Copies of this chain bind each other. A is one copy, B any other.
Amino acid sequence: MSSGVPQGFRLAGVYCGVKRNTSKLDLSLVISDRPAVAAGVYTQNRVFAAPVALDRARTPAANIRAVVINSGNANACTGDRGMRDTEKMAAAAAKTCGAKESEALVLSTGIIGAFLPMEKILAGIDQAAAELGASEDHLVSAARGMLTTDTTHKLAGRELKLSGRTIRIAGMAKGAAMIGPNMATMLGLVLTDAPLEVETAQQLLSEIVDATFNCISVDGHMSTNDTVLLLANGAAGGEPLKGEDLAKFRVALLATCSELARSIPADGEGATHLIMLDVEGCATDDAARTIARTVANSALVKTAIAGADPNWGRVVSAAGYAGIEFDPAGVNLSINGYSLYERGAPVEFDAEAVSKAIRDNRDTLIVLTFSEGSQGVRFWTTDLTAEYVRLNADYHT
């Protein structure tokens, strides 16, 4: 669901030649007509790309005017030259709107270990600057410019009234699994015309990314470039959001990010099932997340769902090796509403019916509960098919 471009932003997506396929777009530019508050959440990978280093140093900020995004080349593992290239990209993007060099951010995704084709990138930035606009088409083009192996662009948005003001949120993302030397980078860029204080924006984004983009798993790899940025330019007018208005805004931002995050595994290459995994009844949020991540990353759980196999043993066993203490006698498991395992032991169930319920639905709901407390988490992942492995192993030959 998109609700149009927030006020004060203009966007464009162009093809500048980073990718070989000329029918794709590979560079996007987003300009805010006024200084925007900017917050960022970045990969925890110890090996991170030049644009991550640049954005991390520049956010949170109150004065960002431009974001430039390229796809096809991640500018990762490129050393000092990669860092200088990222700085040049930022400077070129800032220049298009008369901002200072330091008032721009950069996102890159694609192959790693190769230097950016800077001539093409700089020409692309100028081209994009000439095509900026605020229509739905401009939004879609900008969203397309960040894609790599995604089969479709990913947009979400909300519009809400807060104390008489119309506030818009528009988000775009890219994900999909790794193909080629592409590192399966997950990028997200959320724009809003809401007025936010810098600290509020950063805190909101950190919390919401934790509950959304950090709750998805396609192949378990955290890339060198993963980044989610939030730009809030305040063009809707009024004082920075507080109290009830801020709470309502938070719900809308969470809904936007949740929709974007879910669209990433939903677009997983070669996947035949989108798995929603609810882990409940844990002692802490961290325990719930650790168990959910372990189950969601299990190749054996993922292949079981691909095979429409109600294999409770793989799910329970994966939870058991997550490294979290729990009472085995307090474990319950259901798949697509069928109870398979209760209070630590398997129950009789109609295996054919459950198998059919998995096979006939693209969405699979796994609910795993413990008796340790009241913390829970919702995780999204995909199944693991032979087609996925073929895509990830054979592209090279």
By a beta-carbon cutoff of 8 Å, the part of chain A in contact with chain B is: 44-48, 76-79, 112-113, 178, 181, 183-184, 219-224, 297-300, 303-304, 306-309, 311-314, 316-321, 324-326, 328, 331, 341, 344-346, 355, 384-390, 392-397
Q: In the complex, what residues of B have CB within 8 A of residue A320's CB?
A: 45-48, 222, 224
**In the A-B complex, the 3 residue pairs with the closest CB atoms:** A307-B393, A47-B320, A113-B346
Nearest chain B residue, comparing its CB with the CB of A184: B300
Q: Is the CB of A313 within 8 A of B389?
A: no
> CA of A44 to CA of B184 in the docked complex: distance in angstroms?
32
Which B residues touch A220, using CB under 8 A? 297-300
Total copies of the chain: 2
A219-B300 contact, Cβ under 8 Å, with A45-B321, A309-B396, A321-B44: yes
Q: Is the CB of A299 within 8 A of B384?
A: yes
Instruction: Report Cα–Cα, A321/B223, bound state, in Å.
Output: 8
Contacts A181-B311, A313-B183, A346-B77; A392 near B113 (Cβ below 8 A): no
Query: Which of A45, A313, A314, A344 counts the most chain B CB atoms within 10 A?
Result: A313
Q: Knowing that A47-B317, A113-B345 are A-B contacts, what are 7 other residue pairs whose CB atoms are under 8 Å apart, sorted by A's residue number?
A: A46-B320, A79-B344, A224-B317, A299-B299, A303-B389, A386-B387, A386-B390
| Inter-chain contacts of A76 with B (CB < 8 A) | 313
Q: A45-B321, A221-B317, A393-B386 are in contact. Are A300 and B345 (CB under 8 A)?
A: no
Q: Which residues of B contact A387 (CB under 8 A)?
A: 386
Q: Which residues of B contact A384 (CB under 8 A)?
A: 299, 389, 393
A to B CB contacts below 8 Å, 5 in the list: A77-B316, A112-B317, A113-B345, A222-B321, A306-B393
The answer to whether B313 touches A112 (Cβ under 8 A) is: yes
Cβ contacts under 8 Å, A300 to chain B: 178, 184, 219-221, 392
Which residues from B are CB-within-8-Å of A355?
396-397
Q: How far is the CA of A341 from the CA of B113 in the complex (A)?
A: 10
A183, B306: Cβ atoms under 8 Å?
A: no
Given A221-B300, A299-B299, the answer on whether A309 and B393 have CB atoms closer than 8 Å is yes
> Known: A304-B392, A355-B396. Contact between A45 and B317, CB under 8 A?
yes
| Chain B neighbourhood of A393, CB < 8 A | 303-304, 306-307, 309, 384-386
**Contact partners of A331 in chain B: CB under 8 A:** 47
Q: Is the CB of B79 within 8 A of A317?
A: no
Select the residue from A113, A308, A385 with max chain B CB neighbours within 10 A.
A113
Least distance between A383 CB and chain B CB atoms (Å)? 8
A392-B77 in contact given A112-B313, A320-B47 (Cβ < 8 Å) = no
Enumerate chain B residues within 8 angstroms of A313, measured Cβ to Cβ: 76-77, 112-113, 181, 183, 224
